[in-house]
């Protein structure tokens, strides 16, 4: 029985062919554009390189017992290598990476001293930085970390602001072709910045022996970074290749010599009042090792980083090696 | 200005104050603001705590002040202050019928209002056995938990920032079975479309206590019979359903003062009525007519009548509910092996103190305090520490500061670090540990351990590889005398599904029986 809404065989074949040709055309055009996109794609990994020519080959050690004079001291130190203006140009957006991984009071020595952060923020702001933001992705609860460590209070009256780790800032990107591979990185923060100032604190660490400038870059990792402990030296070296700070300030005003990296007792801390400044991250770490009583040659990640050309471990050989004591 | 708008302003501001106080609980401002203010104003919580524990936190004096004022002013708490009442009134207003006759009929007094008194008896009888039912029936507890478990986590998903007014909306906050533990509030809201203020009229045991206190308050809505033209507008807009246009039943009057605002002839006033005994005819009330029309008015009672049968049935129900909710197999409730927040009372005392308000969950910065998921229904809604969701922050005693009934006793940071904070002990699962049985470096647990000296120390492990070669590496060992059970190790363990280091409640300082060392 013939239904009224049925079509003839001829009509069916006609319509069918028409659709085949149409969809083929669409696919063809799409693949043409897709191919063009692919051919212009760059497969090489672009590191976040904030390094400038400023201060190359210089290493400064500042030591003082008086924390109130830190800003002048740091200012003086930067003047020896051409002034802070060579690192931070006006209208720069400066990202300050502190170590604020644990909700611990400053005297424990597990976090960067608020005084050093404040002094550096003021120097940057004097140099005319447009926007200064402090960042870390802590292990403990973020707002408690900033509040208890005193960093929040220290920068409250300055122009700097704190960026709390939020999921929208974090994205999985390719960090290296080695151990890390694709991993969540707080890319949103790094992309926003023009300059990166790395202010770690000097601590001992159970596995990497020391936790210094390169280990501090761990704070840009999101996700479940705890599994990186399995190959921690390689991971630190790869990360230091991927994120290259403009300048590093090692806060050794307090040294955490035991129970690192969390501390918790006054016996674990030594007051030294030292700040080391250098654009060379490897030199900073090898200096930190000596402060903590670890031979830099024994620290695997420093050797790996030096081998990949990130810097020189022997800081005493630097052209401009300056010590300022007050 | 009409008194009705004044009331709405009051309700709105008290509601926002409640919302704000629950909201700021997450910040470290609990030292400056009394975030338990609203819970402290619930006399139901106070009475239940007195019945089950024979003592009460000092903050609950406020609730007795409110109860005392009710004797003079009527149920002003229900109509003017209670945030639950404000929500119910709002939805009743939205859901009200357009037909004046339907509105009038729905606001008629019924004897079924006594059900809230029956529930009050159930709650009180259960409290004698130490079973606290406020988690299901106290409006302020329900609302606190509702906002904690549902509203604030939801607001956290939206791109809004309320940190300028002190409310931190943490991203990714999530709670177990939140919708189930908040279902009663949602049901109460929906029932307003069936009968206005259904919850307040039929269910709320706190309202039941106030209704007993407000049987004949000093100040009340008084209808001038001479002026009244019997238009019925007062009952049409009545929120409590107290039959103001006949013989008003003041125990049901919610002091909404709508009658005062809508009366076209000004027959209704808020004034002290001579405290003489009035004769109210129950029969007349049942037939919904004024007792003036009946000659044989006998009964001298002006509240909701609760019969002897009602009392016996609800008392029986109260006993039954204890048997139904309590897992009778666990005679020693301490064996439930639950990790409670630091400073908690021993399990038996904890369960009879905890009102299941969820304020500790709101105050926790790491989201580790969760409503419990358990087959033992008595434990339902109580806080438990789930170390797969968070860890107990070492420098924090928020939960002990906010607990309104001291189920989590108030401890200082120093006390917490000096040993009162021991809530359990960590155990390394060597079979799952990648340092012990897979020959890879890890030691994350040792790194994040917050105590000094660290409760996790490292020991050398010789790992035999597949080919028989021996690899020497370091692996974690727990020192139970130093471990405080904070769960940092479990939370950060890279073996994420079933962590290779786990905390259980054994060795917790709150219990005398849950120990394993001599």
Beta-sheet strands, E only, within chain A: 48-49, 58-63, 93-98, 131-135, 161-163, 171-174, 182-185, 195-199, 201-205, 209-211, 243-244, 247-256, 269-278, 320-325
Say if residue B337's pLDDT is above 90: no
Ordered alpha helix ranges (H), chain A: 9-39, 70-80, 114-126, 142-149, 151-154, 187-192, 213-216, 232-242, 281-291, 300-307
Ordered alpha helix ranges (H), B199-281: 205-213, 233-236, 258-262
Q: Which residue has the higher pLDDT, B410 or B286?
A: B410
Q: What is the mean pLDDT of chain B?
A: 87
Say if residue B331's pLDDT is above 70: no
For residues B356-395, one letter each, b for 16 or more C-beta atoms within 10 angstroms of the residue's C-beta and e for the rest, the string is bbbbbbbbbbbbbbbbbeeebebbbbbbbbbbbbbbbbbb
Report pLDDT for B342.
94
Q: How far apart are CA B408 and CA B358, in angstroms?
A: 12
Q: How far apart are CA B499 and CA B513, in angstroms?
A: 27
Task: Compare all CA atoms of chain B with the CA of A263 and give the residue at the minimum distance.
Answer: B452
Task: Compare all CA atoms of chain B with the CA of A104 and give the residue at the minimum distance.
Answer: B395
Say if residue B180's pLDDT is above 90: no
Q: Tell whether A140 lies on the interface with B, counting CB pairs under 8 A.
A: yes
Q: Which residue has the higher pLDDT, A37 or B116?
A: B116
pLDDT tens sequence across B210-260: 998 888 788 888 888 888 888 889 999 999 888 888 778 888 899 888 999
CB-based contact B168 A102, cutoff 8 Å: no
Report pLDDT for B276.
45
CB-based contact A264 B451, cutoff 8 Å: yes
B284: Cα separation from own chain's centroid: 39
Q: Tell whether A179 lies on the interface with B, counting CB pairs under 8 A.
A: no
Of B171, B443, B452, the CB nearest to A207: B443
CB-based contact B366 A141, cutoff 8 Å: yes
Closest C-alpha to B251, from B74, B65, B72: B74
B contact test, residue of A215, A229, A259 with most B CBs within 10 A: A229
Q: Tell whether A105 lies on the interface with B, counting CB pairs under 8 A.
A: yes
Q: What is the mean pLDDT of chain A?
A: 87
Say if residue A262's pLDDT is above 90: no
Q: How far apart are CA A278 and CA B412, in angstroms?
A: 43
Q: Tell whether B449 lies on the interface with A, counting CB pairs under 8 A.
A: yes
A contact test, residue of B29, B436, B441, B456 with most A CBs within 10 A: B441
Sequence length of chain B is 518
Count the neighbouring beta carbons within 10 Å of the beta carbon of residue B463: 16
Report pLDDT for B297.
46
Closest C-alpha to A71, from A31, A114, A115: A115
Hey, is B325 helix, strand or coil? helix
High-pLDDT (> 70) share of chain B, % = 91
Sign (positive/negative) of CA torsion B494, B497, B500, B506? Answer: positive
H or E stretch at B11: helix B3-24
Task: Compare all CA atoms of chain A with the CA of B488 and give the residue at the minimum distance.
Answer: A140
Closest C-alpha to A263, from A202, A221, A198, A199: A202
Q: What is the pTM of this model?
A: 0.83
Closest C-alpha to A304, from A208, A226, A164: A208
């Amino acid at each position: 029985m013939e239904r009224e809404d049925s079509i003839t065989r001829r009509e069916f074949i006609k319509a069918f062919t028409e659709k085949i040709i149409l969809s083929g055309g669409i696919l063809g055009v799409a693949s043409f554009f897709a191919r063009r996109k692919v051919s212009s794609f760059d497969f090489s990994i672009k590191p976040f390189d904030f390094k400038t020519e400023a201060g190359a080959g210089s290493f400064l050690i500042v030591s003082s017992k008086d924390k109130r004079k830190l800003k002048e001291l740091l200012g003086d130190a930067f003047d020896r290598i051409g002034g802070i203006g060579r690192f931070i140009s006006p209208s720069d957006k400066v990202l300050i990476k502190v170590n604020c991984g644990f909700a611990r009071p400053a005297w424990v020595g597990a976090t960067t001293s608020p005084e050093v952060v404040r002094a550096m923020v003021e120097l940057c702001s004097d140099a005319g930085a447009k926007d200064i933001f402090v960042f870390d992705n802590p292990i403990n609860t973020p707002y408690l970390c900033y509040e208890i460590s005193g960093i929040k209070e220290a920068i409250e009256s300055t122009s700097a602001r704190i960026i709390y780790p939020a999921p929208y800032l974090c994205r999985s990107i390719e960090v290296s072709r080695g151990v890390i591979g694709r991993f969540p990185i707080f890319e949103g923060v790094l992309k926003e910045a023009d300059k990166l100032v790395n202010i770690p604190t000097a601590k001992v660490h159970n596995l990497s022996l020391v936790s210094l400038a390169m280990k501090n870059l761990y704070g840009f990792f999101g996700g479940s970074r705890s599994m990186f402990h399995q190959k921690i030296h390689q991971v630190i070296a790869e990360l230091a290749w991927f994120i290259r700070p403009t300048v590093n300030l090692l806060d050794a005003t307090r040294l955490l010599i035991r129970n690192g990296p969390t501390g918790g007792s006054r016996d674990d801390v030594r007051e030294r009042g030292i700040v080391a400044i250098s654009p060379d991250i490897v030199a900073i770490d090898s200096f930190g090792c000596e402060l903590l009583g670890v031979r830099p040659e024994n620290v695997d990640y420093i050797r790996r980083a030096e081998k990949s050309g990130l810097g020189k471990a022997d800081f005493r050989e630097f052209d401009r090696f300056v010590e300022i004591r007050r | 200005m009409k008194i009705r708008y004044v009331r709405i302003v009051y309700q709105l501001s008290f509601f926002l104050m409640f919302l704000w106080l629950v909201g700021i609980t997450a910040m470290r401002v609990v030292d400056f603001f009394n975030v338990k203010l609203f819970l402290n104003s619930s006399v139901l919580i106070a009475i239940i705590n007195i019945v089950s524990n024979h003592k009460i936190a000092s903050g609950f004096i406020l609730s007795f002040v409110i109860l005392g004022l009710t004797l003079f002013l009527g149920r002003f708490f229900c109509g003017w202050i209670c945030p639950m009442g404000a929500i119910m009134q709002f939805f009743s207003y939205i859901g009200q019928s357009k037909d004046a006759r339907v509105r009038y009929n729905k606001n008629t007094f019924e004897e079924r209002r006594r059900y809230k008194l029956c529930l009050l008896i159930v709650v009180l009888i259960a409290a004698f056995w130490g079973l606290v039912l406020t988690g299901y029936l106290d409006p302020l507890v329900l609302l606190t938990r509702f906002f904690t478990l549902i509203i604030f986590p939801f607001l956290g998903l939206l791109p809004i920032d309320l940190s300028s007014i002190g409310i931190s909306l943490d991203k990714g906050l999530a709670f177990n079975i939140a919708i189930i533990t908040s279902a009663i509030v949602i049901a109460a809201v929906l029932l307003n479309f069936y009968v206005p203020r259904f919850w307040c009229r039929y269910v709320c045991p706190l309202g039941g206590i106030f209704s007993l206190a407000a049987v004949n308050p000093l100040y009340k809505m008084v209808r001038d019979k001479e002026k009244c033209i019997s238009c019925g507008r007062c009952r049409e807009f009545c929120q409590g359903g107290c039959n103001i246009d006949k013989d008003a039943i003041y125990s049901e009057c919610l002091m909404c003062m709508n009658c005062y605002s809508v009366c076209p002839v000004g027959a209704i006033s808020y004034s002290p009525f001579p405290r003489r005994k009035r004769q109210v005819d129950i029969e007349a009330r049942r037939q919904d007519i004024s007792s003036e029309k009946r000659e044989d008015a006998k009964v001298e009672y002006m509240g909701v009548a609760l019969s002897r049968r009602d009392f016996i049935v609800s008392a029986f129900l109260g006993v039954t509910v204890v048997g139904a909710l309590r897992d009778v197999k666990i005679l020693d409730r301490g064996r439930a092996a639950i990790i409670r927040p630091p400073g908690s009372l021993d399990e038996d005392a904890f369960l009879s103190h905890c009102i299941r308000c969820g304020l500790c969950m709101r105050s926790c910065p790491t989201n580790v305090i969760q409503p419990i998921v358990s087959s033992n229904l008595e434990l339902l809604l109580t806080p438990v520490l789930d170390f797969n969701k968070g860890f107990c922050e070492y420098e924090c005693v928020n939960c002990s500061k906010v607990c309104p009934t001291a189920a989590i006793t108030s401890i200082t940071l120093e006390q917490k670090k000096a040993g009162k904070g021991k809530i359990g002990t960590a155990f390394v699962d060597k079979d799952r540990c990648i340092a012990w049985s897979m020959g890879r470096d890890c030691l994350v647990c040792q790194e994040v351990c917050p105590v000094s000296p660290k409760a996790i120390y490292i020991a050398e492990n010789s790992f035999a590889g597949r080919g028989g070669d021996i690899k020497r590496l370091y692996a974690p060992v727990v020192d139970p005398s130093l471990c405080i059970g904070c769960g940092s190790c479990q939370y950060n363990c890279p073996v994420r599904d079933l962590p290779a280091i786990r905390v259980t409640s054994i060795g917790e300082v709150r219990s005398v029986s849950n120990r394993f060392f001599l």
